[in-house]
């Protein structure tokens, strides 16, 4: 990844603002998740690890927290991290500065059922989609990994924007891969917890199609184990290529911790706000009053942002 990618650039922030305005007004739209239609005779397919080609991958994760909440107003802080793993090895991290956004008169806009957690989820999703859009436009990677599903239920406010991202990724021949540790769909839950006759070899099983129309290749929802003794994960795949080739390249292009991409783990840990950062943001946005000593002193205030909270 080169210096062109700026996670708080004017263009990205404008995209985020426009998308959030649209999403917030549609957030109560009904979403219907399609039920997976599974072939009960499915058998795991071994992943040919030795045939994979190392690709330049970009892994994205984001977080969003509430700094202040009243009956109709929310002040939120979000940020995202992109971890790039280059074919020659090593990781490169780009983390955005905190993006603070205030939402006013939520009750008048979307009604009583629009919860604080829902607003945080909308902001996280919007931020990640805007970053994927920039990565695709600037041709920053050959494969993009996200934590979560790529599919979007019918009626979801995200669906149209994500459909355009999917189309753009396919046209640029960039693979999109989403990792989920669990699933709400009972048939996929059964696959995630099932035992198979390939105990130590990376494998995948095709589970169901994605709800987007016109997908090329072998795009779909898979259940896979990507490392020996690793956990079984739901993997959403959007690609023009054969699934076997994508999984082989995926394994070759990153390290894995219990079957989960190391780059996504790094993105998660570098994105989460620490307790000190939360308090500092509240002070900076005048949501609380606190002297420097309560923040741990000047040294902690300047150097403590990466220290894990207990």
Q: What is the mean pLDDT of residues 207-211?
A: 86
| pLDDT > 90? residue 275 | no
Residue 4 lies in a domain: no
Alpha carbon separation from 114 to 18, 22, 76, 103 (Å, rounded): 19, 15, 15, 12
Residue 293 lies in a domain: no
Residue 112, domain extent: 10-30+44-273
> What's the whole-model pTM score?
0.83
Residue 287 lies in a domain: no
Q: What is the pLDDT of residue 241?
A: 94
Structural domains in the chain (count): 1
Q: What is the pLDDT of residue 273?
A: 92
- Tokens representing 146? 């996200």
Q: What is the mean pLDDT of residues 293-304?
A: 57
| pLDDT > 70? residue 205 | yes
| Higher per-residue confidence, 238 vs 1 | 238
User: What are the pLDDT digits (tens) for 219-229?
Assistant: 999 989 898 87
Q: What is the pLDDT of residue 32?
A: 44
Residue 59 sits in a domain of what CATH number? Answer: 3.30.420
Q: Is 22 exposed, middle or buried (0-12, 13-18, 19+ CB in 10 A)?
A: middle
Residue 240 lies in a domain: yes
Instruction: Kindly indicate the confidence band of residue 194, based on its pLDDT and cuts at 50, 70 and 90.
Output: low
Tell me, what DSSP letter sits at residue 32?
B
Instruction: Kindly indicate the confidence band of residue 30, based on its pLDDT and cuts at 50, 70 and 90.
Output: very low
Instruction: Kindly indicate the confidence band of residue 240, based on its pLDDT and cuts at 50, 70 and 90.
Output: very high
Euclidean distance between CA atoms 20 and 242, whole angstroms: 35
- Sign of the alpha-carbon dihedral angle for 170, 172, 173, 176: negative
Q: What is the pLDDT of residue 44?
A: 84
Residue 234 lies in a domain: yes
């Amino acid at each position: 990844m080169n210096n062109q990618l700026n996670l708080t650039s004017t263009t990205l922030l404008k995209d985020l603002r426009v998308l959030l305005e649209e999403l917030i007004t549609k957030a109560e739209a009904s979403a219907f998740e399609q039920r997976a239609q599974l072939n009960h005779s499915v058998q795991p397919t071994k992943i040919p690890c030795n045939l994979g080609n190392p690709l330049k991958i970009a892994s994205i994760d984001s977080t969003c927290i509430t700094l202040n909440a009243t009956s109709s107003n929310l002040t939120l802080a979000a940020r995202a991290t992109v971890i790039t793993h280059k074919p020659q090895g090593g990781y490169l991290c780009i983390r955005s500065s905190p993006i603070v956004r205030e939402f006013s008169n939520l009750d008048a806009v979307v009604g009583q059922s629009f919860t604080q957690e829902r607003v945080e989820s909308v902001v996280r999703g919007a931020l990640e989609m805007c970053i994927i859009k920039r990565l695709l436009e600037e041709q920053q990677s050959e494969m993009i990994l996200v934590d979560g599903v790529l599919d979007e239920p019918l009626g979801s406010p995200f669906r149209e924007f994500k459909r355009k991202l999917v189309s753009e990724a396919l046209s640029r021949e960039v693979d999109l891969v989403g990792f989920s540790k669990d699933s709400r769909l009972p048939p996929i839950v059964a696959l995630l917890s099932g035992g198979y006759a390939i105990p130590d070899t990376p494998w995948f099983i095709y589970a169901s199609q994605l709800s987007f129309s016109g997908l090329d290749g072998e795009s779909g929802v898979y259940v896979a184990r990507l490392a020996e003794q690793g956990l079984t994960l739901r993997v959403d795949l959007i690609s023009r290529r054969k699934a076997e080739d994508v999984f082989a390249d995926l394994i070759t292009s990153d390290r894995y911790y219990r079957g989960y991409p190391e780059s996504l783990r790094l993105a998660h840990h570098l994105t989460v706000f620490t307790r000190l950062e939360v308090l500092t943001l509240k002070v900076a946005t005048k949501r609380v009053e606190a002297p420097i000593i309560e923040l741990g002193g000047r040294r902690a205030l300047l150097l403590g942002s990466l220290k894990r909270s207990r």
